[in-house]
Structure 1
Amino acid sequence: VWKVKNAPKKILGQTIRGVEGSLDSTRSGIIYLSETISKISYQQPTNFNERIIASKVSGNDNGFSFNSAQESTFSFYQNTIALNTAIVSPVARNAFNYYDYKLDGVFYQGNKLINKIKVIPKRPNDRVFKGVIYIVEDQWQLYGIELTTTGAALQIPFVKELVFKQNFKYDITQNFWVKLSQTIDFGFGFMGLNGQGQYTCVYNNYNFSPIFNKRSFSNEVISFELKANKKDSVFWNSLRPVPLTDEELNDYIKKDSLQELKRSKPYLDSLDRVSNKFSITDPLIGYTYRNTSNKWRLNYKGPGRGISFNTIQGYTSKIGLNFYKWYTENRTKWLSINLNSSYGLAEDKLRFTGDITKKFNSKNNLRITLSGGSKLTQFNDSEPISPLINSIATLFFESNYLKGYNLDFVQIKYRQELFNGLETFAKIGYEKRSALFNNDNHYYINNKEKQYSSNNPLAPEDFTTKSVDQHQVFKSQITARIVFGQKYVSIPDRKINIGNERYPRIDVTLENGFGASKRGFNYSQLRTEIYQNFSVANKGDFYYRLKAGTFFSADDISFIDYQHFNGNQTQIGTKANYTNVFNTIPYYDFSTNKSYLEGHIEHDFKGWILGKIPGVNTLNFNLVFGAHLLATQERKPYSEFSIGIDNLGFGKYRLLRVDYVRSNFNGAQHGTFVFGLKFLGLLGL
């Protein structure tokens, strides 16, 4: 159950929708209430299966609760508890490095002596709990726990604190204390939205001698019985282990009675009339028209939201329209149509692109996209520099890093999961490419040591030679994405993949250029990418990404089709981690049409080191280490090493990072600082 208190009407100017009828006159009340009854199978060390027999969501008789035993099963016998970061258990093997203990009393449960032990963190800002554990004398097993940790320890800024309570009962046949119940209480607050929640689990009907076979466990970890969400009140009243509170009972009654009203056309239209009100700033910023009862909306993106500057177009702005139609209540099947325009003032050219995407279902995620139009495209289509950062670098530092060409194209894309663990992506299209030149040398601050470079990455001081000769080519690309041992959740109308931390994700891609208008521009490239991240107990999170590829018949291909690497010359980072970027490499200096190898590793210690330093541990910073390598056939290897501090910020807003990066190439070394503004990445800027 989730509750809010004195909720604001808007957050960041956006009206909070979906809480109508949930809150009282003070804008307080229950915003989410659900229950689940499950049958759980478990076999050490990792085999797990949950079959949900019944699921109930207040106010939605078609809904499926996302309460699951898998997400809420915490064993304090383990050395660490995984809660966004690893929190050290008070009964871990190395617990004495993190806790002091004090006997706070004893009592008997039957003929068993129970010790009440106070748990005291050695360093309060470490990844630890505080509270009380109850230990059975001589058996040294848990009788109960009451432990608290904080959002700061979890590094989840909007969580104030998390309180665990577990009770155990003695099973005489196993001579062991088994878990009877668990309650998790939490408080949260962010941007004026404050509240609390509770997650209660009751365990019964243990079978300690199950008969398992090869079919007992699979990669499907959670599934729902047929009509699990259609159980009546008689069923729930007979099996519910914990009685509903008066507030929860009233919430069911109120929301269930309002359910039909909220689905009715008059009610939905009344909500839409409020949100569809037009504002004087809408033509500049944007506007959304909703027709919820007919399951569609139309969104307009105004020119004021996309203003940027580059030396090719000058000041440029974008206008966009999006039509979105969904066919099911849970939006598992939908249609999206986009029309976008871009106009460059200095270039005096208007470009249009459009696309239509149809998602057919959410079981195998089948979707097809048809797109086309004309656009300015960076030579590296991964777009290593964003329009915002390029605008600032260009106007204030006279560093016009964005280099691009004109692309006229038609393309069709396909995506589908063929079976669990194998997803395919394919696209084929026609492209007409032509060179562009600088059209604007405007700047705000004159850097006397620099001047604008040309739009030719191969000849930055040549302002007359074309970066590419105009040509046409057909391109195809097919990617197989493999996730070994991929775990997933089966819901009647969709499948949710949750990956598998033990194995990496592997992408294998074959790209072809054919039917080119210029001789020598046809080619093939085969490449692979391996990515994985996993936790290392309470010592942090480890990330790595490896890429390798080779070209065939590509000696004379267009520079556009080279393999380009994500560089960074701005000293600004925007990603949560740097496993897909080189932070001091120029954007196109290492581009290649030969074989290449690229590798990135990063380890976020999550307070394991800085949390032990007096004074520093009060700041809740994370030490981050990184290493990066690039090897191409034509050049000597390039490497970077970095050390940085993450989780910088103020209060709940921890979206900053700073790294010192040291590069090494051909015997020359270079060092610089990179400032991570992660909020830009979250905002798509």
Structure 2
Amino acid sequence: MKQQITLLLLVFTTISFAQIKGTVKDKDGNPLPFVNIYIENTYIGTTSNELGKYELSTTEKSNVPLIFQYLGYKTQKQILNISQFPYQFDVVLIEEDFQLKEVVVVNNENPANEIIRNSIKEKKKNAAKTDKFEADFYSRGVFKAKDIPKKFMGVEIGDLEGNLDSTRSGIIYQSETVSKIKFQKPDNLKEEIIASKIAGDDNGFSYNTALNTNYDFYENYVDFGINMISPIADNAFNYYKYKLESTFYDDKNQLINKIQVITKRDKEPVFEGYIYIVEDSWAIYGIDLDIKGYRMQQPILETMKLTQNFSYNSENKIWAKNIQTLDFQAGIFGMKFTGKFTHVFTNYNFKDAFEKKTFGKEIVTFAENANKKEATFWNEFRPVPLTEEESTNYLKKDSIQTIRKSQVYLDSIDAKGNKFNFLKIITGYNYKNTHKKWNFNYQGLTDISSLSFNTVQGYNLDSGFSFRKWNDETGKYTSISTTFNYGFSEDRLRVSGRYIHQFNNINNAYINISGGSAISQFNPNEPISPMLNTIATLFFKNNFMKLYNKEFAEINYGREVVNGIYASGKLLYENRRALFNTTDYTFIKNDDLYFSNDPLQPDNYTSVPFENHHIMKASLGTRIRFGQKYISRPNGKLNIQNDDYPVLSFYYEKAFGASNSNYHYDLISGTVDYNKTIGNKGDFGLRFKAGKFFNAENISFVDYKHFNGNQTHVNLMNNSLNSFNLLPYYSHSTNDAYLETHIEHNFKGFIMNKIPLLNKLQWNLIGGFHQLNIPNMKPYQEFTVGFDNIGFGKFRFLRVDYVRSYQNGYQGDGVMFGLKF
């Protein structure tokens, strides 16, 4: 046994030091970052870091053919005979002797256009060569911040867990992963993360995976949150102009064409920069493209640069992507951010086919103890050496973590924040025990954020207590809270309490128990917010919110049953009482009267919409996401919806045990949601909602199906597929059958970007249709056209729609204003 251990240690020691190390510079001594370095005709490779340093692991010593490839520089082939490891080998790369040989111009045809046409023609064949493979994958992400203020909008920012130095700058996120991947186009992935490392979190697991790194320019679109047009897309000539800037020969005497990619219209989702195409095979040799933030409709992002380097294997005739880097710059409110993501693909094994069931719903897993790898492992398997700044950051963050996770430090910080004085009786108080992971909160007597106004309560505000205990590793948490709501005009205090427990982050099982006294809108979806109702009421005398009182007890339970299927159940008791207006206070002094609190008879101030009663309800619901995939993390499950399929929801509710048996009923309902990005032509969305009541002829108006209308011309909820724009809140409420249809298409600039002058606005054209069908009434319809992404510079949160409504003819029109974040 001891001999076996000794042998293993000897092998490990030999392997761990089997490295070629060095620095890559240009002839002036400047380091060259992200040089593609690999052993010829293999997929064993690495890249240099920002300082030009590289490390390559190999056990070969004799006649090792090492290739150094860098866009804009001559490719070098060096034959190494290694005496011992580690082996130091520095190299100087010479700028490419670009030439543009004389070409024959036919009919004034741009020579670059013919190269691009050939690349488009051959892209399916070239893409098919790498459509199925296994590989080793390495990812590193570094995110930096600069000029971060000490306070933002009055809120203390601090040093971001020790990430900011005295200049308010520093690395705020740094992580690495090493994984084994299997991939099959277009999007089948199986990844096992072998090692994961986050600076300052020795128990954390990086979110860097191969999942969102497949920027494939052989496809028509490259997904960056919005579909960007590939320079060799089928319709690329509609968006780009090309210039053959130069040509050169690589180490295998293959002619490489360096083509400048020029945008035709600045505001389109397009790239600019260079694409390198191999003559004859028309494969991609390299990518060096820039992306402007406004072209991605991400105004906070200023620029992003994507580079890809491909290496050629003369044995299988395949150009394969080895290195991919993504650099970005962003900023807002004077704060600046930069980031770099480095992806290295090595040890390719291209497949003709995978075995059945290779790919399933689980796409990413973590090996046991993936976050516990020692420095020796990373020194061996990290293909890109750390820069001095990155190495220092790991040491600094690990030291800070040791201090800041200690009980002494946590208790000292808590003690500072837990100080109590008598003023906190009014303003609120929070007591926290970070080490034991619990906190207690008291909202105070003047919680201005809860202050609102309605004609039933007048001014009202909340206070209350809450307790929360959590476990970051398991996702388990418990929350206990109570809310005190007082209405000044009504002179009534309502008290309610809630208990919530989440069992884990795997199936997100939870139980929610609540009860007490509360005031509620007739529509439980609360289509008008307290803030919006306050403004409409006090400034315009439009008291749209209709309320009733309830004493209630409720219990909910829900969880994911199997992947993609979520189920929940609820049992509810309510004792309901109608309410009346108690105030006519307003900021606007005129002779207009407020409407009554009766949604059925708004001009009758003595009527009630229902008789006082109690009732019980039981309900079951399910949501089905077809084709849902997921990432299995040690501390949770991350679901990834498949946009190829709709999401279905079904709901059954039974009312029983009421003080009047006429209030008993059954309700069956369902929802279909479908959202799809259609190439570069925008985002399409639809929602169908349908339901049917049974034995519900005389039920309480509270239990009717109420629809999300709007009479304020303002939509702050960004729920255009779940609401109407001009429909009165309770005009179409029903106790029978109903069908809602909501359809919308956001062109994401597809039309506006092509209109001169208007394209400078960077607005998105949106069209929509909404319809409501209920028995004994003509369908209610709305047609909308509008714009979003309205604003200036980096602030584009406004949406404006023009709406026309019809029901048995034209009903009216209006303009809707909304905010989108």
1:304 alignment partner in structure 2: 448
2:464 alignment partner in structure 1: 320
Instruction: Please list, as runs of the form range in 1=range in 2, the aligned pairs for 1:322-401 lying within 5 A after superposition.
Output: 322-326=466-470, 328-330=471-473, 332-401=475-544
Unaligned runs of 5+ in 1: 680-685
Contact 1:595 1:633 in 2 (8 A): yes
Q: Secondary structure of 2:201's match?
A: coil
Q: Secondary structure of 1:520's match?
A: helix
2:608 alignment partner in structure 1: 466
Q: Secondary structure of 2:302's match?
A: strand
CA displacement at 1:242 relative to structure 2? 0.7
1:502 alignment partner in structure 2: 644
Q: Distance in 2 between matches of 1:315 and 1:540?
A: 44
CA displacement at 1:285 relative to structure 2? 5.6
Contact 1:399 1:451 in 2 (8 A): no
TM-score by length of structure 1 reads 0.96
Q: Secondary structure of 1:261's match?
A: helix
Residues 17/600 of structure 1: CA separation in 2 closer, same or farther (3 Å cut): farther
Q: Secondary structure of 2:533's match?
A: helix
Residue 345 of structure 2 corresponds to residue 203 of structure 1: yes
Residue 205 of structure 2 corresponds to residue 64 of structure 1: yes
Residues 603/276 of structure 1: CA separation in 2 closer, same or farther (3 Å cut): farther
Q: Distance in 2 between matches of 1:636 and 1:245?
A: 70
Contact 1:332 1:493 in 2 (8 A): yes
2:568 alignment partner in structure 1: 425
Q: Distance in 2 between matches of 1:633 and 1:580?
A: 21
Residues 10/363 of structure 1: CA separation in 2 closer, same or farther (3 Å cut): same
Residue 428 of structure 2 corresponds to residue 289 of structure 1: no
2:162 alignment partner in structure 1: 21
Residues 211/115 of structure 1: CA separation in 2 closer, same or farther (3 Å cut): closer
CA displacement at 1:275 relative to structure 2? 4.2
CA displacement at 1:331 relative to structure 2? 6.3
1:172 alignment partner in structure 2: 314
Residue 793 of structure 2 corresponds to residue 651 of structure 1: yes
Q: Secondary structure of 2:435's match?
A: helix
Contact 2:178 2:196 in 1 (8 A): yes
Instruction: Please list, as runs of the form range in 1=range in 2, the aligned pairs for 1:262-277 lying within 5 A after superposition.
Output: 262-276=404-418
Q: Distance in 2 between matches of 1:201 and 1:318?
A: 51
Residues 611/331 of structure 1: CA separation in 2 closer, same or farther (3 Å cut): farther
CA displacement at 1:6 relative to structure 2? 2.2
1:437 alignment partner in structure 2: 580
Residue 541 of structure 2 corresponds to residue 407 of structure 1: no
1:145 alignment partner, one of 248, 272, 287: 287
2:764 alignment partner, one of 608, 616, 622: 622
1:105 alignment partner in structure 2: 246
Q: Secondary structure of 2:506's match?
A: coil
Deviations 1:458-501 (A, max 9, x none): 11111111221110111111111111111111001211111111
1:134 alignment partner in structure 2: 276
Q: Secondary structure of 2:330's match?
A: strand
The percent identity for this pair of structures is: 49
1:225 alignment partner, one of 367, 370, 373: 367
Range moving further from structure 2, 276-285 or 391-400: 276-285
TM-score by length of structure 2 reads 0.80
Q: Distance in 1 between matches of 2:156 and 2:316?
A: 55
2:194 alignment partner in structure 1: 53
Q: Secondary structure of 1:570's match?
A: coil
Amino acid at match of 2:213: S
Deviations 1:239-260 (A, max 9, x none): 1111100000111112123322
Q: Secondary structure of 1:413's match?
A: strand
Q: Distance in 2 between matches of 1:287 and 1:261?
A: 27
Q: Distance in 2 between matches of 1:182 and 1:209?
A: 22
Amino acid at match of 1:512: K
CA displacement at 1:278 relative to structure 2? 6.6
Range moving further from structure 2, 208-217 or 417-426: 208-217
Range moving further from structure 2, 217-226 or 43-52: 43-52
Residues 430/261 of structure 1: CA separation in 2 closer, same or farther (3 Å cut): same
Range moving further from structure 2, 332-341 or 9-18: 9-18
Aligned length: 677
2:720 alignment partner in structure 1: 578
Deviations 1:510-550 (A, max 9, x none): 01110111121011100001112121111111111110000
Contact 2:502 2:511 in 1 (8 A): yes
Amino acid at match of 2:453: F
Deviations 1:29-55 (A, max 9, x none): 111111011111112333221111111
CA displacement at 1:192 relative to structure 2? 3.8
Q: Secondary structure of 1:439's match?
A: coil
Amino acid at match of 2:168: R
CA displacement at 1:321 relative to structure 2? 2.4
Q: Distance in 2 between matches of 1:342 and 1:599?
A: 37
2:382 alignment partner in structure 1: 240
2:119 alignment partner in structure 1: none
Unaligned runs of 5+ in 2: 1-141
1:561 alignment partner in structure 2: 703
Amino acid at match of 1:352: V
Deviations 1:128-155 (A, max 9, x none): 1111111111211111111111221112
Q: Distance in 2 between matches of 1:17 and 1:528?
A: 47
Q: Secondary structure of 2:398's match?
A: helix
Residue 732 of structure 2 corresponds to residue 590 of structure 1: yes
CA displacement at 1:14 relative to structure 2? 2.4
Q: Distance in 2 between matches of 1:508 and 1:69?
A: 35
Residues 577/538 of structure 1: CA separation in 2 closer, same or farther (3 Å cut): farther
1:683 alignment partner in structure 2: none
Amino acid at match of 2:602: P
Q: Distance in 1 between matches of 2:427 and 2:801?
A: 35
Q: Distance in 2 between matches of 1:590 and 1:463?
A: 21
Contact 1:473 1:517 in 2 (8 A): yes
Range moving further from structure 2, 5-14 or 22-31: 5-14
Range moving further from structure 2, 333-342 or 152-161: 152-161
Contact 1:403 1:456 in 2 (8 A): yes
Q: Secondary structure of 2:348's match?
A: coil
Structure number with larger C-alpha Rg:
2
CA displacement at 1:330 relative to structure 2? 4.2
Q: Secondary structure of 1:253's match?
A: helix
CA displacement at 1:577 relative to structure 2? 4.4
Instruction: Please list, as runs of the form range in 1=range in 2, the aligned pairs for 1:468-617 lying within 5 A after superposition.
Output: 468-617=610-759
CA displacement at 1:19 relative to structure 2? 2.3
Q: Distance in 2 between matches of 1:587 and 1:59?
A: 52
Amino acid at match of 1:70: L
2:781 alignment partner in structure 1: 639
Amino acid at match of 2:237: F
Contact 2:718 2:819 in 1 (8 A): no
Residue 219 of structure 2 corresponds to residue 78 of structure 1: yes
Amino acid at match of 2:535: I
